[in-house]
Structure 1
Amino acid sequence: MSRLLLVVVREEPGRYTYFKHTYSSDTVEVIIDRRMSERRRGESPVGLDRRQASRRRRDLSPDLQAFGWALVRH
């Protein structure tokens, strides 16, 4: 069974609380977006990246900026 992850921007704790009380269930998990920025910065050389693909499946930033939250199948 797939689960849903409801991600709320950290700047809106009231919305997070509302969503947590309203939508949290066995199939829906409500979390606060904890991302700060990309970890790799600067021009320093990096070793061979063994990952085949990015761990982030889709960029949530447009939804988070437009609506203050994003819904992801988890």
Structure 2
Amino acid sequence: MSVPLVCSAKGCRAPAAWAHLWNNPTLHTADRRKVWLACADHRASLGEFLSVRGFLVDTVPSDQIPADAG
């Protein structure tokens, strides 16, 4: 049995359909990928938050999260 993926937005408990892959270059090596999950309603706002800081690397469907991300 797999654990359901839930949106990372504060207070949201909706199922996650998307995964924002990101890293903070001042803290992480270039190949490290952290993951924020997003429902359809929060995909844009979470992605923009990461993007304006220069952290967003990629956005993929939640069923395509790379095995080495996390």
TM-score using structure 2 length? 0.32
> Which protein is bigger by CA-based radius of gyration?
1
- Name the structure, 1 or 2, with higher relative contact order (CA <8 Å, separation 6+): 1
Q: TM-score, normalised by structure 1?
A: 0.31
Kindly indicate which of the two structures has a greater share of residues assigned to helix: 1
